[in-house]
Amino acid sequence: MELINTSIRVALAWYALISVFLFSLYALDKKQAQIGGRRIPERTLHLTALVGGFLGGLFGRAVFRHKTRKPVFLIIMLMSAIIHTIFWVLLFI
Residue spans of the chain under pLDDT 50: none
Residue 86 makes CB contacts below 8 A (sequence gap 6+) with none
pTM to 2 decimal places: 0.88
Q: pLDDT tens for residues 67-80? A: 989 899 889 999 99
Alpha-carbon span 23 to 54, nearest angstrom? 9
Instruction: Give the residue numbers spanning the domain of 50.
Output: 2-91
Total count of domains within the chain = 1
